[in-house]
Amino acid sequence: MKKIAIIGDRFMLPDVFRDKIVEACGDGHEISMLELPWPDVPMEHGYAVEGMDGLKEYLGKPGEIVDFIGDAEILVTQLAPLSRTMLQDLPGLKLVAVSRGGPVNIDIKAARDAGVRVVNAPGRNASAVAEFTIGAILAETRLIRVGHEALRRSEWRGDLYRADRTGRELSEMTVGVIGYGNIGTRVVRLLRAFGTKVLVHDPYVQLSAEDRNAGVEHVSLDDLLARADLVTLHPRVSEETRNMMNAETFAKMKPGAIFVNTARGPLCDYDALYENLVSGHLASAMLETFAVEPVPEGWPLLKLPNVTLTPHIAGASVRTVTYAAEMAAEEVRRYIAGLPPVNPC
């Protein structure tokens, strides 16, 4: 029998974690559960303001988290933090299953030093984010936001049918996809179904044979920015990618292009984006993630008429919850069975 601590939240529900663990491992284990109040209470992002011991995107007070885990051998969580100091107070902990792609709420090096196996769930919400991205793109290219906002004001925008004002079809556009990981590859696949010309920039991976044979091009960043009618971001945040979209790179984008960010806020210099939207160099933008979340009241981009905004919900779907819990449960099963992990960190 293993002692398993589950720290869920109001998205990754503790009950779903428990049910999937019981399905995978049987019901002979001692399982305790705690629910964090996210997303009703914002997490600590740790980007604009340094997080606890360098951790990012977490929620929970260290002392309360440590007390709850206690002598459990296994922790399953999405958002609970684990710093080096916390790990020192948890000598019985041997496995941490994090139900997210980037376990930035865990000090991975400290876990390795303590002999704690950390596993994650890469691609758990890749389908959800890719679908959302296509919706975001269509909201801009087909003027869905523009028409919706006008009609909310009882303004009938029949002029949007004018040839000089109407939107464009993806079948006649070139879309640049920056980042070709779990999400980027799915976005490319969905765009191909529209007949879109797709450019990809990712210096660390090669295109799949399927995408290459379908006419997708692997290009430099400068080439992508110069040719794309719309640019969509999908890389991870790193020192290399932080603020990769800035005054210089926005200036290289095609005049009248559209910018979409459903990835992470720190990838973009939003002050520079604001200037390019106000000047008319960029036609519009769709923003789903931000440097500071929640977005501050009075933030200039909230007031622009050519911006669509959503509150970082691209990865949220019912399937994401069950799929991520299944991935975590399989890692727990393998640990108990003495098998190597599927997704070690």
Point out the residues that are catalytic: 264, 293, 312
In the Cβ-directed half-sphere of 203, how many Cα atoms lie within 13 Å?
5
Could you give the CA distance from residue 96 to residue 291 in angstroms, rounded to a whole number? 28
In Å, how far are 41, 65, 118, 232 from 11, measured between CA atoms? Answer: 12, 18, 21, 26
- 87 burial via Cβ count (<10 Å: 0-12, 13-18, 19+): buried
For residue 87, the one-letter residue type is: L
Closest CA to 232 of 256, 211, 257, 209: 257
Residues 121 and 324 sit within 8 Å (Cβ to Cβ): yes
Residues 201 and 220 sit within 8 Å (Cβ to Cβ): yes
Residue 257 pairs in a beta bridge with 282
In Å, how far are 93, 119, 122 from 96, measured between CA atoms? Answer: 8, 6, 15
In Å, how far are 42, 323, 332, 334 from 337, measured between CA atoms? Answer: 37, 21, 9, 5
How many CB atoms sit inside 10 A of residue 302's CB? 12
